Every structure is written in C-alpha cells, then in structure tokens.
C-alpha cells in the first residue's frame, strides 16, 4: 500500500554542485538573443518551406532558420525591435476580400492566392508588369531573374483579378516600370472607372 507520509517525507536530493565539485560543471550562459515567436518561412535559395524562429537581438529582429540542403541562416526582418513589438497594439480583425482565388491544399505559402486562409484583404496590390529585372532601380524592394515581359492583355487580366477580389482596389502599385517598360502606359486607361 502507498505510504503518503513516507513519500512526502522523502529526502530532497540537491542536483546543485557544491563548492567541491564546481569545477566539473561548466557555467550556464544565456543565449545572445531573446526568443520571440515561431513561423514558417522559405529557404531563399531553394524556396523549400522551412520553420523559423523570430528572435530579438541588439534591438533588431531576425529569423533564424535552417534548410536541410543550404544550412543555417539569419535574416533581418526589422532594424528596430522596439518599433516592431509596438505594432501589435494596432492589430485588428482582418478584413475579408470579396472573393478568394484558391483553396487551402498545401498550407501557407504554397496556396497563394489569395487562398481562403489569408487573414487580410489586399490593401496594396503589387502588379508586376515584367519578370525582366535589371536590379538597378534604387527604390526597388525585390529582385528577380531576367525573365520575359508580360503582354498588355496579361497585365489587364491581373488588374481585373484585383478588381474581382476586392470590388475596388484601395491602392495598386505597377512596378518594374522605370527602366524596362517605358511606354507601357495604357494601364491607367484600363483602370479608369474601376478604382
């Protein structure tokens, strides 16, 4: 039979090293960052979906992630951790678009989209009018391999999709226009009356 009294009085064995054994235990150290969150990300080399820790270090925010093929990497996602953390106070319920384009099948980010899992409607639609990028525009925030130019009909279809999803679009940014697509100026006419 179980003896409560004797088990509650069992001696507590200390695992703390005493002074005589201190040298055999290495000192504990803190990690050089604060763990903040966990998410899915992509390997920038092979685009495989991999898990990522979001960490705070030296008032910056980074993702730590490891691709089985391309190894460990650290990616800066904000240069101001205080500002990054303060933004959550402005979170609100997401606004649904009028229409989603794809179902959820493989999980984010492989179902783009917008798939029905997406939390927010399109506040700012980025419409690329070419895949060909010379990486020379000083204000660009993305890159791409040299690819082909989209036809005017393809770009118009993209704009129609934005309107189908949103009913009307708040902001549309046509980009990669500066060097590659000078003279590609008929889209504003296509947009008239839809925004």
Residue from 22, 69, 80, 160 in contact with Zn ion (CB under 5 A): 69
111 contact, one of ligand SF4, Zn ion, none, CB 5-8 Å limit per kind = ligand SF4
- Count the site residues for Zn ion by CB under 5 A: 6
Distances (CA, A) of 5 to 1, 14, 41, 184: 12, 21, 53, 86
- Which stretches does DSSP call E strand in 44-180? 49-57, 60-67, 71-78, 124-128, 171-175
Tokens at 127, concatenated: 């419409």
Residue 114 carries which DSSP code?
S
Minimal distance, residue 49 CB to Zn ion, in Å: 10
Angle 134-138-140 (CA atoms, 0-180°, nearest 5)?
70
Site residues (CB under 6 A) for ligand SF4?
Answer: 108-109, 111-115, 117-118
Residue 133: which of Zn ion, ligand SF4, none does it interact with, CB under 5 to 8 A by kind? none
Q: Which is nearer to Zn ion, 46 or 85 (CB)?
A: 46
Residues 132-161 within binding reach of Zn ion (CB under 5 A): none
Q: Which does 45 bind (CB under 5 to 8 A by kind): Zn ion, ligand SF4, none?
A: Zn ion
């Amino acid at each position: 039979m179980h003896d409560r009294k004797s088990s509650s009085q069992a001696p507590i064995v200390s695992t703390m090293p005493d002074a005589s054994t201190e040298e055999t235990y290495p000192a504990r150290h803190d990690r050089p960052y604060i763990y903040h969150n966990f998410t899915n990300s992509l390997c920038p080399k092979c685009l495989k979906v991999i898990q990522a820790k979001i960490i705070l270090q030296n008032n910056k925010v980074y993702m730590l992630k490891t691709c089985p093929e391309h190894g460990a990497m650290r990616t800066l996602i904000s240069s101001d951790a205080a500002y990054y953390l303060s933004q959550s106070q402005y979170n609100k319920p997401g606004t649904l678009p009028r229409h989603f384009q794809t179902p959820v099948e493989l999980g984010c980010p492989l179902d783009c989209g917008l798939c029905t899992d997406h939390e927010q409607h399109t506040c700012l639609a980025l419409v690329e009018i070419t895949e060909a990028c010379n990486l020379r525009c000083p204000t660009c925030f993305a890159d791409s391999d040299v690819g082909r130019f989209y036809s005017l009909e393809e770009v118009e279809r993209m704009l129609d999709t934005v309107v189908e999803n949103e009913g009307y679009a708040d902001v549309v940014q046509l980009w990669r226009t500066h060097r590659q697509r000078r003279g590609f100026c008929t889209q504003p006419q296509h947009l008239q009356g839809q925004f």
